[in-house]
Structure 1
Amino acid sequence: MSKSAEIELTHLKMSIRYLIGLLEEGSLVPRYDEATRREIGVVLQHLLHKVEGLPDGVPDNLVQGTAVRALVEAAADHDEAAQQEQADFLERQMCEAEAWASIHGHQLEPWEQVAGSVMEYQTSCEMCGGFIYVSHNSNYNLLLETCERIKQE
């Protein structure tokens, strides 16, 4: 690699890292929402990492494939983070529902996963038969304000 090519590569890496920082900070691109800026930054970070590992003389189509892999990996990272956020939210929903039920005198049965779903659970009160449904984006509490035993033994 000639000296000018090395300098060009150094400048390119520096400018991409600076661009990543600007995207994360957001003041120069306010029309992009935060999630979009973050995703673009992650793609660029993956791309830098992948390009640094390429051997000399790699054909252009493989370099382009590296760009595609960087985008796919960044998307997978985003999906994994989103799923973890949903799982955390679901867990909070369940804990809050359990606390509310306990405060109001209900005794909940163990949570059951709703058939055919991944992040949907339901339970009912052992005493009154009232029902609670929670998912990663909603909940339905059909318990009475005060537990009244109506379930037949």
Structure 2
Amino acid sequence: MRARMRSGADWGDVLIHNMSSRGLLATADTEQPTGTIIEIRRIHHIIVGRVVWQKGPYFGVRTQDRIDIDGVVSAKPPAHKPGSEPGATGPDRRGERRVVPIAEREARSRRFAARFQFVVMALVLGGSAVFVAEGVFGLLSRPFATIGAKLDGN
């Protein structure tokens, strides 16, 4: 089956050779490195997944969601869209885990690492400042104590 594929910001043609409920085998004109997030569109269907292996023009994709194989092959629109009934608010998804895209997880990880590094550096610098202040205090307290005693007349 022919379809369109987005990889990064680029769109191109893709040929789907084989599908299962959670993956597919495809070929494209451009190589898709392992780990690449792709989006495949065929008529009304959108398939999002990650390239898990690649050999020449062939690559395997693990999909984010289950694939409606019959719908994709027949190019019919999806039978049901959540919340499409009049007055419906959509399914209750409070107990479901949300799939977080890799780019978002990487961005969160970088932000956490930057904050953690800032806190550690602040603690190290603060501890160093206290250590230096105590050393300076100890060094200067003897001469000042001697001067104070002389001024008091002892």
TM-score bracket, normalised by the shorter chain, equals 0.3 to 0.5
TM-score normalised over the length of structure 2: 0.35
TM-score, reference length from structure 1: 0.35
* Structure showing greater Rg: 2
Query: Per residue, is there more strand in 1 or in 2?
Result: 2
Structure in which a larger fraction of residues adopt helix = 1
